[in-house]
């Protein structure tokens, strides 16, 4: 009798342990998690895969999360050729867009290896990737041009050795001469905006030959209607040019000169502003200088005040 009771107690205990183990196993993530994952930047997406096994599986197995990869700060300073290959391999060869913003460790060999595995990329942004060369970019674009059925969008500003000959080869590869080059209105650093949506003023390639200095750089058209009317049919007298030849307002992109109509003003971040933008932007409570939108995050808020201080005034007075 005692043996039967003991066996029953052991059997019950075994069932309890099994039930507890079953209950402790993590189930699949809730459906709402997948909606959140699709909106996370890359660095946070990679962090989510370290939380638990179920989240790791959900992140790694959802190919839609890896079709458009945008690498910027803080990940760009750490990513290498090997790391990039690991990340892009999650797209299983179906990568559509790749943006590497100031990724100094990415080399020609690494980028070529990624493109060889993902030949259907139609949006490639590699600005300020200083380890890349013009010859490497040409090889990559040639591979993409052989497979892509869509226009290939390129951001190459900051790759130092690209000259006019390289530019013509790249243009021929993406058949740019068969399509009219779009106007480019001063969107020098808006890579994320251009990456997420195709703007009507977003050109196929961000480099051109400056009509004033003949260097291959980012060349901007003036958005001001008066300037555009004056420039029609007269390229040399137009205010179309690179940032070194034609000073522009960092906020609106309009050219600024020493004339009374186009007087320039200084921002707290030392960028140039036209007077119209200077007047409408909020200003530092001490020095009365505004920040342009590119550096607005540098504002130092004040307790119990709706105003702000610039970095210089904050360090001097606080």
Residue spans per domain, the chain: 40-53+61-209
Per-residue pLDDT at 272: 87
Q: pTM score, two decimals?
A: 0.78
Retrieve residue 124's tokens: 């490639």
Distance, in Å, from the CA atom of 251 to the CA atom of 223, rounded to the nearest integer, reads 12
Residue 186 structure tokens? 């001063």
Distance CA 38, CA 31 (A): 12
Which pLDDT value is given to residue 3? 47
Q: Which of 229, 211, 284, 223 is nearest to 248 (CA)?
A: 223
**Beta bridge partners of residue 308, listed in sequence order:** 301
Instruction: Return the pLDDT at 52.
Output: 76
Q: What is the pLDDT of residue 29?
A: 61
DSSP letter at 152 equals P
Cα distance between residue 194 and residue 218, in whole Å: 15
Which helix (H) or strand (E) covers residue 131, if one does? none
* C-alpha to C-alpha distance for 69 and 4, rounded to whole angstroms: 64
Long-range CB contacts for residues 60-67, cutoff 8 Å, separation at least 24: 60/90, 62/34, 62/37, 63/90, 63/91, 63/92, 63/94, 64/38, 65/37, 65/38, 65/90, 66/90, 66/91, 66/95, 67/91, 67/94, 67/95, 67/96, 67/97
In the chain, the percentage of residues whose pLDDT exceeds 90 is: 38
289 Cβ contact list (under 8 Å, min separation 6): 266, 267, 268, 283, 310
Structure tokens at 273: 């502003």
Contacts of 156 (CB under 8 A, 6+ apart): 126, 127, 137, 162, 170, 205, 206, 207
The sheet carrying 68-71 orders its strands as 68-71, 97-100, 123-125, 153-155
Instruction: Output the tens digit of pLDDT for each of the chain's 318 residues.
Output: 444 544 455 555 555 545 544 445 556 665 666 677 778 888 888 887 777 777 777 777 788 889 999 999 899 999 999 999 999 999 999 999 999 999 999 999 999 999 999 999 999 999 999 999 999 999 999 999 998 778 899 999 999 889 999 999 999 998 865 555 556 666 665 665 566 665 555 678 989 999 899 999 988 888 887 777 766 655 555 788 888 998 888 888 888 865 545 567 888 888 889 888 999 999 998 899 999 888 888 898 888 778 899 998 888 776
Which tokens belong to 222? 């003036």
Q: Are 225 and 185 in contact (CB under 8 A)?
A: no
Q: For residue 175, what pLDDT is reported? A: 83
For residues 126 and 193, give the distance between their C-alpha atoms in angstroms, rounded to a whole number. Answer: 15
How far apart CA 277 and CA 296 sit, in angstroms, is 14
The SS3 assignment for 98 reads strand
């Amino acid at each position: 009798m005692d043996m039967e009771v003991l066996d029953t107690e052991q059997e019950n205990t075994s069932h309890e342990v099994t039930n507890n183990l079953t209950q402790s196993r993590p189930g699949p993530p809730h459906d709402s998690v997948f909606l959140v994952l699709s909106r996370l930047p890359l660095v946070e997406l990679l962090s989510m895969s370290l939380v638990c096994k179920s989240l790791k599986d959900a992140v790694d197995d959802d190919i839609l999360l890896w079709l458009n990869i945008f690498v910027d700060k803080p990940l760009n300073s750490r990513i290498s050729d090997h790391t990039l290959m690991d990340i892009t391999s999650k797209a299983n060869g179906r990568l559509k867009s790749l943006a590497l913003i100031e990724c100094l460790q990415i080399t020609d060999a690494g980028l070529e290896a990624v493109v060889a595995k993902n030949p259907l990329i139609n949006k490639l942004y590699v600005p300020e990737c200083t380890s890349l060369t013009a010859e490497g970019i040409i090889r990559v674009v040639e591979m993409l041009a052989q497979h892509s059925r869509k226009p290939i969008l390129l951001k190459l500003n900051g790759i130092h050795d690209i000259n006019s000959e390289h530019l013509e080869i790249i243009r021929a590869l993406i058949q740019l001469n068969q399509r009219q080059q779009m106007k480019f209105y001063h969107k020098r650093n808006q890579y994320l905006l251009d990456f997420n949506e195709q703007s009507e003023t977003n050109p196929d390639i961000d480099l051109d030959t400056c009509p004033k200095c003949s260097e291959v750089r980012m060349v901007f058209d003036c958005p001001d209607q008066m300037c555009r009317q004056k420039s029609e049919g007269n390229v040399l007298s137009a205010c179309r040019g690179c940032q070194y030849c034609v000073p522009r307002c960092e906020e609106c992109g309009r050219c600024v000169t020493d004339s009374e109509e186009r007087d320039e003003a200084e921002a707290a971040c030392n960028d140039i502003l036209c007077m119209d933008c200077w007047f409408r932007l909020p200003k530092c409570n001490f020095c009365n200088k505004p920040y342009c939108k590119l550096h607005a995050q540098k504002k130092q808020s004040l307790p119990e005040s709706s105003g702000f201080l610039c970095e210089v005034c904050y360090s001097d007075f606080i």
